[in-house]
């Protein structure tokens, strides 16, 4: 059986790749995006690589998805002004490049509005 290479997120979770981690919980980790698309751009990632995207996560573990959304809100309050955009890209055609479920938390942190039409991943 051929096994896939671990995603960059799995390698960050394992401590193999450094990241600017802002949250490390039992089932989720969050860190700053290395190519930010807004003044605040965090990634919230389940520590399991079982789910390729948010659709699989919602079907397989809706409680984990709810925890991810709650964590995104908490981080937007802690690192910004509480207003945020939560983005899930699902599939390569939608801009997903890392096939490990994750959410982008984008905020201007009180510095004006976010641009419409930004694809992130």
Q: pLDDT tens track of the chain, all 121 residues?
A: 445 789 999 999 999 999 999 999 999 999 999 999 999 999 999 999 999 999 999 999 999 999 999 999 999 999 999 999 999 999 999 999 999 999 999 998 766 666 655 555 5
| CATH code reported for the domain at 8-107 | 3.30.428.10
Closest CA to 106 of 84, 88, 90, 121: 84
Point out the catalytic residue in the list 79, 100, 102, 104. 102
Domain parsing of the chain, residue ranges:
8-107
Instruction: Please indicate, yes or no, whether the overall pTM of this predicted structure exceeds 0.75.
Output: yes
Q: How far apart are CA 78 and CA 74, in angstroms?
A: 6
Active site residue 102: yes
Cα-atom radius of gyration of the chain, to the nearest Å?
14
């Amino acid at each position: 059986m051929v096994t896939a290479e671990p995603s960059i997120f799995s390698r960050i979770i394992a401590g193999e790749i450094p990241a600017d981690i802002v949250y490390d919980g039992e089932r989720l980790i969050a860190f700053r995006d290395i190519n930010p698309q807004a003044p605040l751009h965090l990634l919230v990632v389940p520590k399991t690589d079982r789910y390729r995207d948010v659709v699989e996560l919602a079907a397989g573990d809706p409680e984990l998805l709810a925890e991810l959304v709650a964590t995104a809100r908490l981080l937007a309050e802690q690192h910004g002004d509480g207003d945020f955009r939560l983005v899930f890209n699902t599939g390569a055609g939608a801009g997903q490049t890392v096939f490990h479920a994750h959410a982008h938390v984008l905020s201007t942190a009180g510095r004006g509005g976010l641009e419409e039409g930004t694809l992130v991943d």
